[in-house]
Amino acid sequence: MYKPLTIMAALIVALVAGMVIGRYVVAPGASPVPGVATESRREILYWVAPMDPEFRRDGPGKSPMGMDLVPVYADTADRAAGIVAIDPAVVSNLGVRTAIAERGSLPREIDTTAYVSYDEDTVQHVHTRVDGWIENLAATAAGDLVTAGDLLFELYSPTLVNAQQEYLAALRSGSASLKLASRERLLSLGITAAELERLDGEGKVRQRLRVYAERNGVIADLGVRDGMYVTPNTDVISIASLDTVWVFGDVLERLAGWVKPGQAATLRFESLPCERYSAEIVYVYPELDPVTRTLRVRMRLQNLDSLLRPNMFGRVEIDGLETGPIVHVPREAVIRSGHDSRIVVELGDGRFESREIRLGVESGDRIAIRSGLRAGESVVVSGQFLIDSESSVGSALARMQPGDDTP
C-alpha cells in the first residue's frame, strides 16, 4: 500500500530538483538572467554613428557629433544596410516593376527653344552718300515686298546737283583729265553707271537721284518718311530675302559642351505641325547670354515657299555627341531628394536594397549612373518610393536597436 506512495513522492522530488537545477545551472555561453540573451553569441560586423550610417569603424568610439558608436550585428546587418525583405504577394500588390541596368553609349539629345530670324547675309542696307531730303518714298512700311529694280525713293541733294553741273562743264571743256575727275566724283557720291550714260546722252542735270532695290525681299526696317533730311549716317531702308532664314537655338549652360558646328538638328514649329525641317548647326557663338545663361547656336534653312517667318518660335532637337560606355537606367528609376539621389536594387528572394548613387548625363528617358550601380543589376522603376521609405525606417531602427534582446 505504501510502495506506490513512495514511488510517487520520489518522482515529485526529482521533478522539483530538475526545475531548481535548470534555473540556476547555466549552459556555456548562455545568459544567467532569465529571458535575456547573451551578446557574446552575436557577431558584431562593425560600429556606426547613430545619426550617420556612412560613418563606420571597426571598434567602439565616438562619432563626429560626439555620440557613442553603436554596433551592427550580423543578424541585423541587412536592415542596417538598408536592405528590406518583402513578401512576393506584397511586391505584386505594390505593382513593382524592374529594369536591368545597361552599359553602353548614350546619345546626348538636346531639346530647346528656337526662333526664326532674317538671314543677315542677304540683308541689303540702303544709305545715302550725301546729305539731302527724301522725296517720293515708294516703300510705305516694314514688311512690304519689293522686287529687284523697284524704285525705293528719290533723293534731292544740292551736292549731287552741283557735281552733275561740274561734269557737264568738264565735257564741254574737252579736258580728258577734268572729265575723268568729275566722273569719279559722281560715282563716289552714289551716281550709277547707267545714270552717267543718261547724263552723257541727254546733257541735262537731274534734280533727284533715284535709288532702286538691288534684290528681291521684304523691307525689314524703314527708318525714314517723305521729306526727312538724311545724312550718310542715316539707316534709310533694310531689305532682307526670305529665300533663306536663320534659326537660333538657346542651349543651357550645362549642355554647352555638347554642341559644335556640323551637328544635325531637327526643327518643328507650332504653326506648321505637319512639317519637320532638317538642318545643321553652322555657327556656335563664343559667349553665353549673361541673363539667360544660355549658349546661342545658329542654323540656316531654305525657305523658298516663305512658310517660315521672322520671330516665329519653335523647338529644335540637336543630336549631341555620344558618351563613352557608361552604366545607365530608366530615368524613372531614380529617387531624387534635396541632398542626394538614390535607387532601389532588387537582390532576389524578395530582398531590396536602397543605394545612394551619383548621376551622370541624361538622354531622353535614360540617365547615366556614375557610381553606386553595376551593369546587369536589376533596379526598381515602379513602387520604389515605398520600398525606399521602408528601407530608411528599417535601417534607422536597426541602428537605434539596443545591444541586447531585452523584451
Alpha-helix residue ranges (DSSP H) falling in 189-318: 193-202
pLDDT of residue 1: 47
Do the beta carbons of residue 80 and residue 346 sit within 8 Å? no
Give the span between the Cα atoms of 224 and 394, in whole angstroms.
78
pLDDT at residue 294, as a whole number? 94
Q: Under a CB-based contact definition with an 8 Å cutoff, are residues 49 and 67 in contact?
A: yes
pTM of structure:
0.58
| Confidence at residue 28, expressed as pLDDT on a 0 to 100 scale | 39
Low-confidence ranges of the chain (pLDDT < 70): 1-42, 45, 51-54, 72-82, 321-323, 388-407
The verdict on domain 82-106+324-400 having CATH code 3.30.9.10 is no
Q: By the 8 A CB rule, do 109 and 319 touch?
A: yes
Give the separation between CA 222 and CA 241, rounded to whole angstroms.
15
- Please, what is the Cα angle at 333 between 331 and 338, to 5 degrees? 85
17-64, pLDDT tens digit by residue? 444 434 433 433 444 444 444 445 667 767 777 766 667 788 888 888
Domain boundaries, the chain: 82-106+324-400, 110-120+242-319, 125-239
pLDDT, position 4: 53
Q: Do domains 110-120+242-319 and 125-239 have the same CATH topology?
A: no
Residue in the block written with cell 527724301: 134
Burial of 369 (0-12, 13-18, 19+ CB in 10 A): buried
Assigned CATH for 125-239: 2.40.50.100
Nearest residue to 267 (alpha-carbon basis) of 306, 319, 224, 230? 319
Average pLDDT in the chain: 81
Return the pLDDT at 18: 45
Assigned CATH for 110-120+242-319? 2.40.30.170
